[in-house]
Amino acid sequence: MVGGGASGAIATPPAASDRVAAMRAKGSGYRPHARHRDANGAPRFVNGLISETSAYLLQHAHNPVDWCPWGEAAFSRARDEGKLVLLSVGYSTCHWCHVMEEESFEDLEVAALINRSFVAVKVDREERPDVDAVYMAVLQAATGHGGWPMTLVLTPEREPIFAATYLPARGGDRGARIGLSEVLEQVAGEWRRERARVGERARHLLARLQGLFAPAGRGPLPGVEALVRGFDALDMSFDPTHGGFGDAPKFPRPAALELCGRIARRTGDERALTMLLHTLRSMAAGGIHDQLAGGFHRYAVDDQWAVPHFEKMLYDNAQLASAYLEGYQISGEPAFAVVARRILDYVEHEMTSAAGGFFAATDADSAGDDGELEEGRYFTWTPAEVQEVIGPARTPLVCAYYGITQEGNFEGRTVLSARHSAAELAAAYGMPQPEVEEAIEAARASLHEARRRRPAPLLDGKIVAAWNGLMVSAFVKGSEVLGDASYLKVAQAAAGFVWEHMQTDGRLCRTFSGGKARHPGCLDDYTMLAAACIDLYETGAGLAWLSRAVVLQQVQDAQFLDAEQGGYFFTAADAEPLPWRDKPHHDGAEPAASSVAAWNLLRLSELTGDPVWRRRAQEVFQAAGEALTDGMALPKMLSALDFYLDAPVHVVVVTPPGGAGAAAMRAALCREYVPNRVVSIVEEGPSVAAAAALVPAVSDRVAIGGQATAYVCRGHVCLEPAVSPAALTLTLRRAAGIWGAVD
């Protein structure tokens, strides 16, 4: 720690000069996040996080707490000094992480207590989801709930002895009976007095948790009954009034919406269709949806989607873009296409690096009039602010449309929603509906431009391989369903960036930040990037993308496969040892990597004809056990099971040299909701032979009469080749049994 605290309570370690040098090496563009500064405005404190690239870790690099990054060096120091480890896990856009930093980790007395009795370790959960997953399981087992910031005390051997989420600095703060200071004093005192007993208790606890989270044996291979039970679980939690699942706080759960679409296709159940479409409409109209710029906030704190937790995460927007695109395919509702396009445009314009990769997130907090950070300030409005932008004539209409009132719905301000249709407002204000629509759209553009002049929330500019894979898939689907070739270019640039800049020695890295690729890739990095590569191949971007997906799958099988029990571990065989190797069997805010793995394996098996990958998908289902029959636990994996139980459609489109007709055929293909299908698009001639080495189904296919020709097979039955987009549409409907029973 560089600098001195109250009464010299905060020590200066021998490596202080190195930390100052590391800060200076960041250059003139570095803006320290520091509340404690000297007379010259320089940070008083520089801790061991200064050499990190994570935005979250750098937010704490100038705390008076002597933070260390996660690693053996920190635990070795704890052993040498006979101290416990304080582990704090969070992420850059977490509001309560910011609160705890300001209240506790910037407090000189609290920092002195931590530095005196603990080795403090800070982890960005988005960089190290492996560490986060293990200790989140500890927290949930200990308290029955999870969340961030996550606060744990560990022995020097990484054994947990205390777990909690947010804690105020002291008892009495925010109405809490006990705060961080009291907890740490108590735990540190017990460690000093009865170290052997505390250590023994920690070892027993860890052994019990290791038994609890040990991989289960393979269960029976689930059948259609698992889909039925899973959907029934979703149905029981569905909110028929406001859409979505469960009560407040309410999360979008796009994986559950995807399952609803598949159940509706498989069974024709109107409940499933209603659940999907009603939820999409309700979310689009609510405050969880950024009505001005597009994109969605993290979740709603109420059950009506009205007031969000304001951070925006790349993985949410990727999945929701895909959900709205599927909703558009199924229903034909133009509003769904508008929502999807605005998500993609928002990400392209505000969340994409110059090199092509997608940024991780934006914060919930931004500066208010006094310069202090306020949650949601950037996104909320008052009638006076609206009038200042668009003038008095249209303000009543615009405020009525967006629900903006004097009292507001969030701390005296209003989160914009769109609960009233243009037709309703036209009747209320005695205006022609086209005039209302024109006025609202003009106001939206003006308000958006005015908002851009406000102090913006923090952007977390790290690039996460897994999340980029999800977003690439969304852009590919957008290019197909919306017929916008520019989206395919965005997708290729992002996937190319990850492939070219986020690999070391043939292995994926988790993140790219500060010009560096860092941290070994986890299972989700491999599965989600592989899915994106398959998507790019299927849209006609070239055989190289399928080859890359195969390479990623081969590395995944070599490093993550559980050969004994089936399925995949979250960390590689040669990864840093943790208390146990986690197996992801829960579709949360992000789909479980195991769910995406099953989906990839089935698609690769259909494309390549390799039965090994289909067998490995079976083993993923078996390893998931009872979790697979709970729709709230693994809806994404249930969607993969739907593919497995179906007779998937394989479409091969062969064009004459030059690719004429490919776009029209692809447009016809993508207008239809055919989720259980794979696609190959090749040009007649040498490319057919090259592709056939990897995809046997393209062998000997020709463009009949020099026209783009689609060959459609389902299972082991092939239908008559289609030589026009209209014929392809009819063939797909025959092959897929859309809205009818599935074999």
Print the SS3 string covering 145-183: CCCCCEEEEECCCCCEEEEECCCCCCCCHHHCCCCHHHH
Q: How confident is the model at residue 287 (pLDDT cuts 50, 70, 90)?
A: very high
Instruction: Give the SS3 label for residue 143.
Output: helix
Strand, coil or helix: 520:
strand
Q: Is the pLDDT of residue 5 over 50?
A: no
**pLDDT class of 121 with cuts at 50, 70, 90:** very high
Nearest CA to 642 out of 220, 226, 218, 219 is that of 226
Q: Say what the pLDDT of residue 589 is.
A: 92
Sequence-ordered alpha helix ranges (H) in 518-629 = 523-538, 543-560, 593-608, 611-624
600/531 Cα distance (integer angstroms): 6
Going by C-beta distance under 8 Å and a sequence separation of 6 or more, which residues neighbour residue 77?
A: 68, 83, 119
Q: Where are the alpha helices (DSSP H) in 383-459?
A: 383-390, 395-402, 422-429, 433-451
Report, as an integer, the average pLDDT of 210-228: 87
Q: Give the model's pLDDT for residue 32.
A: 85
CB-CB contact of 314 with 470 (8 Å): yes
Q: State whether residue 406 is helix, strand or coil.
A: coil
Per residue in 655-689, pLDDT tens?
999 889 999 999 999 999 999 999 999 999 888 88
Contacts of 574 (CB under 8 A, 6+ apart): 559
Q: Are 281 and 437 in contact (CB under 8 A)?
A: no
pLDDT, one tens digit per residue, over 402-434 is: 999 999 999 999 999 998 999 999 999 999 999
Same fold, 6-212 and 649-736: yes
Q: How confident is the model at residue 172 (pLDDT cuts 50, 70, 90)?
A: confident
Which pTM was predicted?
Answer: 0.94
> What does the alpha-carbon distance between residue 207 and residue 75 come to, in Å, rounded to a whole number?
20
Helix (H, G, I), strand (E, B) or coil at 310: coil
What span, in angstroms and rounded, lies between the C-alpha atoms of 48 and 16? 9
Contacts of 613 (CB under 8 A, 6+ apart): 553, 601, 602, 604, 605
Q: Which pLDDT score is estimated for 381? A: 97
**Any idea what DSSP says for residue 564?**
T
* CA pseudo-torsion sign 273, 275, 280, 285: positive
Number of residues written out for the chain: 743
pLDDT, residue 3, reads 53
Tell me which of 276 and 40 has the higher pLDDT: 276
DSSP 103: I
Q: What is the dihedral of CA 134, 93, 324, 598, to 10 degrees?
A: -20
Question: What is the sign of the dihedral through the CA atoms of 67, 73, 79 and 80?
Answer: negative
Mean pLDDT value of segment 61-87: 96
> SS3 for 265-309, per residue?
HHHCCHHHHHHHHHHHHHHHHCCCECCCCCCECCEECCCCCCCEE
Whole-angstrom distance, CA of residue 603 vs CA of residue 525: 18
224-363+460-645: what fold?
A: Glycosyltransferase (1.50.10)
Q: What angle do CA 457, 459, 463 make, to 5 degrees?
A: 160
Q: Average pLDDT of the chain?
A: 92
Contacts of 692 (CB under 8 A, 6+ apart): 698, 699
The radius of gyration of the chain from alpha carbons, rounded to an integer in Å, stands at 27
Residue 387 CA from chain centroid, whole number: 36
389 alpha-carbon distance from chain centroid: 34
Separation CA 181–CA 376 (nearest Å):
30
Winning range, highest mean pLDDT, from 25-39, 158-172, 334-348: 334-348
> For residue 14, what pLDDT is reported?
43
CB 665 within 8 A of CB 727: no
Q: Indicate if the pLDDT at residue 6 is higher than 90.
A: no
What are 182-200's pLDDT values in tens digits?
A: 999 999 999 999 999 999 9
% of the chain with per-residue pLDDT over 70: 97
Total Cβ atoms within 10 A of residue 729: 17
CATH code of the domain made up of 6-212:
3.40.30.10
* Mean pLDDT along residues 261-271: 94
CATH (one of 3.30.710, 1.10.3470, 3.40.30, 3.30.1490) for 649-736: 3.40.30
User: In the chain, where are the structural domains located?
Assistant: 6-212, 224-363+460-645, 365-456, 649-736
3-state secondary structure string, 367-394?
ECCCCCEEECHHHEECHHHHHHHHCCCC
Tokens read off for 607: 């494309």
Is residue 7's pLDDT more than 90?
A: no
